[in-house]
Amino acid sequence: MNKTVSIIIPSRNEEQYIARCLQSILNQDYPQHLIEVFVCDGISKDRTAEIINDFSAKKSNIQLLINSNRTTPFALNLGINKSSSDIILILGAHAELFPDYVSKCVQILSSNDQIQCTGGILENTYENNTSEAIGMAMSSTFGVGNAHFRTGTKEGFVDTVAFGAYKREIFQAIGLFNEELVRNQDDEFNYRLTKAGYKIFLSKNIRSKYYVRSGFAKLFNQYYQYGYWKVYINKLHKTITTLRQLVPLFFVLFLFLFPLSLLIDKRFIIIYMGLITLYIVSAIANASVLSKKLSQVPKIFFAFIVLHISYGAGYLKGLIDFMLLRIKIKKDETITR
């Protein structure tokens, strides 16, 4: 395997994580002279750039690029345009690669002409008890549906992966990342990829560590944005890209709109309370299965609620803004990672 690999890392205020991320790249069993790294920093206000420059001073294959537009898709495209490698690997600053990550990606991409992207399973790393509960909820089918790169329940062809490695020619075939998107730019790109007839392969043997957000407020903000920007993608492509995205929307509509039916007939309260009870029992049961100890159950249960309501509320707001009001996108750096 002599394919060259470019690793693109968007970053902004990541001083807590970026060193471990870069060190995991230096620990790869793939030849370092075949790897180049572009950290595209969105004008960090902490020591992120300083840490990157420290690595760059010691390793010539690591470069700092300044992303003056700050948002993730600009960072990704900046790195892609700067690179010249056969394979482009998109990485997050919160992640650490297992030592054979690159070599296994290269092996799979070289095995099939139709496979234009490959990735693996996220192994959550926790910073505190809340972070652990959130990670458990995000790794369950009840929490995130069939997001297989989180649940680890499937190996094979999928609709998206985290930290994907792409053949360079796919960017020539379908274009770069959509720079209008603040979130979900990888999902939108992967949708274009599969729509064009190419394949994304998820391998359980490709693994990375991901530092889970440490608070429920951060989790809510993250998944609210996921739901919000998913609507824009649907409008852009004039289709529902995945059916699982609608479930949280219906959940939120049920929670807040169904009570209006009580104005028509109070007997609807039986149906409403019955379905609410079913959800609560299911959430507690799944939390109990996931938990390592009884004290974790309430936090995992609450994480489920945050995941479902935040995504559904974001999706609903997206429907109002993009479909009903037809507002134009505002480039707001405050809602990036």
Residue 96 near residue 183 (C-beta atoms within 8 A)? no
- Ranges 40-44, 87-91, 243-247, 328-332: which has the least confidence: 328-332
pLDDT > 90 in the chain, percent: 66
Location of structure tokens 């951060």: 218
For the chain, the structural domain boundaries read 5-135+148-215, 234-335
Distance between CA atoms of residues 109 and 102, nearest Å = 11
Q: What is the pLDDT of residue 337?
A: 43
Q: What is the pLDDT of residue 184?
A: 87
Q: What is the pLDDT of residue 82?
A: 96
Fold of the domain built from segment(s) 5-135+148-215: Spore Coat Polysaccharide Biosynthesis Protein SpsA; Chain A (3.90.550)
Per-residue pLDDT band at 87 (split at 50, 70, 90): very high
Distance between CA atoms of residues 64 and 256, nearest Å = 47
pLDDT digits over 275-322, tens only?
899 999 999 999 999 998 898 999 999 999 999 999 999 999 999 999
Mean pLDDT of the chain: 90
Q: What is the pLDDT of residue 152?
A: 61
Q: What is the pLDDT of residue 299?
A: 95
Residue 335 has pLDDT above 70, yes or no: no
Q: What is the DSSP string of 110-149?
A: HH-TTEEEEEEEEEEE-SSHHHHHHHHHHTSHHHHSS-HH
Q: What is the pLDDT of residue 336?
A: 43
Residue 227 has pLDDT above 90, yes or no: yes
Q: Which residues contact 40 (CB under 8 A, 6 or more apart)?
A: 8, 9, 10, 11, 65, 66, 67, 74, 75, 76, 78, 79
| Mean pLDDT confidence for 122-141 | 88
pLDDT > 70 in the chain, percent: 94
| Mean pLDDT confidence for 5-32 | 96
Q: What is the pLDDT of residue 28?
A: 97
Distance between CA atoms of residues 20 and 97, nearest Å = 9
Residue 67 has pLDDT above 90, yes or no: yes
Q: What is the pLDDT of residue 185?
A: 92
Distance between CA atoms of residues 322 and 148, nearest Å = 29
pTM: 0.87
Q: Which residues contact 219 (CB under 8 A, 6 or more apart)?
A: 134, 213, 303, 306, 307, 310
Q: Which of 16, 19, 18, 69 is nearest to 42 (CA)?
A: 69
